[in-house]
Amino acid sequence: MTALSVLDLSPIVAGGDAAQALHNSRELAKNAERLGYRRFWLAEHHNMTGVASAATAVAIGYVAEGTSTIRVGAGGVMLPNHAPLVIAEQFGTLAALYPGRIDLGLGRAPGTDQVTSRALRRGLSGDIDAFPRDVVELMSYFQPARPGQLVQAVPGAGLKVPVWILGSSTYGAQLAAALGLPYAFASHFAPADMDAALAAYRSQFRPSEHLDKPYAMLGLNVVAAETDQAAMRLFTSLQQAFINLRTGRPGPLPPPVDNIEAAIDPSASSLLQQTLARSVVGSPATVKAGLDAFIARTGADEIMVTAQIFDHAARVRSFEITAAVHADRQAAA
């Protein structure tokens, strides 16, 4: 059966602030736990005034402290921005504090622009081509320390924090397959290579000590409300945010509008159709049909639901509807 999880960018809404965004993330995680979602991941982005989860490990700790059973993790840490040892220590600390509940998803994108990348790395020496080597090094720090080992992650050594490879192309799929790791694909904003990435991952997968068969999780925008019209209106916040981001004007999550097509030009409409093609928006019946179709097409082991919704109560309600619809699907299967 396909599991459901949550991806949260801890959105800072127009007129709001980072503190409120992080409080909302923790409240959403509490509700996700109550509703039976498997995991709650936060994403690393930098220099974005609409995202509060830049210090991802800190945000994860805050959410984990406010919950008790749901897995909490990074979706993901952008490894070229960091030394592998630092991430091993951070997530080793989280795993020591919240045993059996911490996940570490790793991506090779910077999660920001080049100027900010330079500020993060004090140069551009964070080589994305070194990503496979850095992943292996990072994973080694979670193994039990060997006699005479000069560098250890403390905490971290021996904790075996689960590592995922994230991707939006076939590159990550091939790496996850080669290392025998679970794979998470960003189909919620980069759907073009989804089918090819899944095929590459599944066909090239090599069993490992971490995983004996492929396990694929796919991102999906799901905005649910009582009616299709209400859900489509909520969805316009994400649509506006994507247009702003892709046209070099990132900012806080905008409030919804009544008629998005009247507010954008044809090129922006085409952009939305391409980038947000993997979105399910509507009433419970519409969401059920959308989930059915997506699962039938992909055979996803897990779906990571994301919902950038301006009103926090409406966001919580969207996840409630999605969980209820999925539970009904499972019961009928």
pLDDT digits (tens, 9 = 90+) for 287-330: 999 999 999 999 999 999 999 999 999 999 999 999 999 999 88
Q: Give domain status of residue 69, yes or no.
A: yes
Domain count of the fold of the chain: 2
CATH of residue 87: 3.20.20.30
* DSSP letters spanning 169-216: SHHHHHHHHHHT--EEE-TTT-GGGHHHHHHHHHHH----SS-SS--E
If asked whether residues 119 and 32 sit together in one domain, one would say yes
CA distance 288 to 280: 9
Which two three-digit tokens encode residue 147? 């006699």
Same domain, 116 and 251: no
One domain for residues 117 and 228: no
Look at residue 102 and tell me if it is in a domain.
Answer: yes
Listed in order, strand segments (DSSP E) in the chain are 3-8, 39-42, 71-78, 102-107, 163-167, 183-185, 216-224, 279-282, 302-306
Tell me, yes or no, whether 180 lies in a domain: no
Q: Are residues 118 and 6 in the same domain?
A: yes
Residue 252 has what pLDDT? Answer: 98
Mark whether 242 and 326 lie in a shared domain. yes
Which pLDDT value is given to residue 116? 61
Residue 41 lies in a domain: yes
Does the residue 123 lie in any domain? Answer: yes
pLDDT in tens, 31-90: 999 999 999 999 999 899 999 999 999 999 999 999 999 999 999 999 998 999 999 999
Q: For residues 116 and 245, state if they share a domain.
A: no
Cα–Cα distance for residue pair 161/138, rounded to 1 Å: 10
Average pLDDT over residues 228-255: 95
The domain boundary residue, chosen from 161, 183, 199: 161
pLDDT given at position 211: 98
Whether 210 is covered by a domain: the verdict is no
> Looking at the DSSP assignment, which residues form a beta bridge with residue 304?
5, 219
Position 197 in a domain: no
DSSP string, 115-133: HHHHHHHTSS---GGGHHH
Predicted model pTM? 0.94
- Looking at residue 247, its pLDDT comes to 87
State the pLDDT at residue 282: 98
Give the torsion sign (CA, 86, 81, 171, 76). positive
Residue 246 — pLDDT band, cuts 50, 70, 90? confident
Q: pLDDT for 102-141, tens place per residue?
A: 999 999 976 556 666 666 664 555 555 789 999 999 999 9
What residues contact residue 156 under an 8 Å CB cut-off, 6+ apart? 88, 89, 91, 92, 93, 95, 141, 142
Predicted local distance difference test score (pLDDT) of residue 261: 86
Phi, psi of 302 (to 5 degrees): -155, 145
Same domain, yes or no: 152 and 225: no
Same domain, 19 and 95: yes
Whether 113 and 174 have beta carbons less than 8 Å apart is answered as: no
Residues 241, 317 within the same domain? yes
- Whether 188 is covered by a domain: the verdict is no
CA distance 12 to 253: 6
Residues 146 and 230 in one domain: no
**pLDDT value, residue 121:** 61
From CA 286, how far away is CA 282, in angstroms rounded? Answer: 5
Looking at per-residue confidence, does 129 or 239 come out higher?
239
* Residue-level pLDDT at 113: 64
Q: Kindly report the number of other CB atoms within 10 A of residue 279's CB atom.
A: 23
What band does 1 get if pLDDT is binned at 50, 70 and 90?
confident
pLDDT in tens, 140-174: 999 999 999 999 999 999 998 999 999 999 999 99
Share of the chain above pLDDT 70, in %: 94
- Which of 161, 177, 204 is a domain's end point? 161
- B/e letters for 120-147, b = 16+ CB within 10 Å, e = fewer, are bbeeeebeeeebeebbebbbebbeeeee
Q: What is the residue range of 78's domain?
A: 1-161
Closest CA to 221 of 244, 258, 187: 187
Query: Could you tell me which of 1, 2, 3, 4 has the C-alpha nearest to residue 222?
Result: 4
